[in-house]
Amino acid sequence: MARKEALNKLKQVLIGRREALRAALMGDLSLLNELKNEAFSDVFDAALDNANDDISTQLLEVEAKELAQIDLALERMKDGQYGTCEACEKPIPLSRLQALPFVTMCIECQRESEKRSSNSWDRYGRSQSHASFD
């Protein structure tokens, strides 16, 4: 019963974080639109605004990715799959879920997945399957 209670608490954490991210995304989008509509007074202002646009865009991407992960976690809760590793189907430890409530794999499977994906690229960023050593 303790795991079920902990999962219910995590659901509330995820819902709260989702609402906070949605509000942040709306604010970031408004700010980005506001910056794009401002007239530049000189070259330095234009450069600063471009840098701010880049940072805001990157922040939007990070927030949108986290929001998608949270939505997936909430969907897995609805389906009864939350807290179960997608790869090995074993329960994900509560300590891991409490640290990263939107994870879908246990730490062992996550490490293996990352190892496989990092091994598929050479040091120049080329796919190993297409790398040539002539």
Rg for the chain, CA atoms, rounded:
21
Which of the four pLDDT bands, split at 50, 70 and 90, describes residue 127? Answer: low
pLDDT attached to residue 34: 67
Range with top average pLDDT, 9-18, 58-67, 117-126: 9-18
pLDDT attached to residue 57: 76
Domains of the chain: 2-122 (1.20.120.910)
Under 8 Å between Cβ of 105 and 87: yes
Please give the residue that has the higher pLDDT: either 33 or 79.
Answer: 79
pLDDT attached to residue 132: 44
pLDDT, average across residues 63-77: 95
Under 8 Å between Cβ of 15 and 107: no
Which segments of the chain are extended strands (E)?
Answer: none
Under 8 Å between Cβ of 102 and 70: yes
In this predicted structure, the answer to whether residue 47 has a pLDDT above a threshold of 70 is no
pLDDT, average across residues 57-71: 89
Residues in the chain: 134
pLDDT tens-digit series, residues 71-119: 999 999 999 999 999 999 999 999 999 999 999 999 999 999 998 887 7
Which of the four pLDDT bands, split at 50, 70 and 90, describes residue 53? Answer: low
pLDDT attached to residue 88: 98
In this predicted structure, the answer to whether residue 2 has a pLDDT above a threshold of 70 is yes
